[in-house]
Structure 1
Amino acid sequence: MDKDVILLGGFHEVIELCEKAGYNIVGIIDGRLRDSYFGYSVIGSDADAEVLFSNYGKCKLVLTPDSPKIREKLVNLYKPLGYDFATVISPQATISKFSTVGKGTIIQDGVNISACTTIGNYVKLNTNCNVMHDNVISDYVTIAPNAINLGRITVGRSSYIGANATILPEVKIGHHSTVGAGAVVTKDVDDNKIVKGVPAK
């Protein structure tokens, strides 16, 4: 029963991740899909969340969307109804024994989390991203494929670090901010900002 999950959103990458990590996918909740997706039953949409709880409330939910804003919206919808959330970690990820990972977080293949790093709740760490020592990754953050966070970085709530971006040591990224793909961030980024380029501006 502890391994029974329902996916919030049909996404084949996360289906494969759950299979690798030994989870039993009971169904998918997605308003855009019908019947089945990659062999798994589509059991309803977000509008059915309250009704579905009576049959599926013991299953943990897996947050598949990449968007921090959408993940936060889903948690705010499902959590008050009594649902719990699964943390899904690829067996091909490397996580320091001195670091912690929060509830409802997705960690894909090839991710590295170095020592003394804190990963918050409902975070998504995409394939091959590298989070080095003494980072603080706040709730709902997304780090895209191949991004690199060097040492002693703080990333604020619901921010997005784009693919192949590099954040230099001791930089602070504010809440609800976006770092563009391939950017090199050399100084702090305020809340609600979008930065891109080399160096990022």
Structure 2
Amino acid sequence: MTKKIIAVNAGPRKGWNTDTLIDEAIKGAESAGAEVEKFNLFRLEKYTGCISCFGCKKEKYKGHCIRRDGLTEVLDAIREADGLIIGSPNYLSELTASFRALYERLVFQNLTYNADVPCCNENPIPTLLIMTSNAPDNAYEVLLQNYQNVFNGFVGPTEVFVSGETLQLKDYSKTDWPWFFNAEERYERHETVFPKEREAAFEKGKELVLG
């Protein structure tokens, strides 16, 4: 039986770092025989984060966010999937607001407030969480450990993949940023290190399917 993987891009820039690594992970999953459906959160119809309506805490809606908007099809797809690839850039020391909106609703629908059975997710799935950042790879270890712990508990066993010190622009000379870091080093890293990260993302997408 063909496995179904859902890929979610929580970044706005098509063809840049986050999107590229997600696509490499998708190729890896497909190479292992999976079918992949990709969602771009910045291109969906209007949606919000959790509105604290507590509809998902009613027995008949258990494990289902009842809010109907642009995220509904994403949540429904993840609920039926065999694996999840989700990626976001880091903005101001956090993942994007779009990521957070999905994260809130993905997790809260599975939270029961029952000490004996804290999670009602009936379909835990392996997850690959990708973060790209302008900072060094280890700059957000605590942040990512927190996300990993929550995903482990409410979505499924989660691996984190980080690409730091990424190239943000093709031409830094048009900005005042180069004083903050060495732009030439960023160009060089994009040509030498980022291709290896693309290969690593491919392998992690493959492993997501093969286990």
Task: With the length of structure 1 as denominator, give the TM-score of the two structures.
Answer: 0.35
More contact order relative to length (CA 8 Å, sep ≥ 6): 2
For the pair shown, which has the larger CA radius of gyration, 1 or 2?
2
Higher helix content, 1 or 2: 2
What TM-score, normalized by structure 2, do the two folds share?
0.33
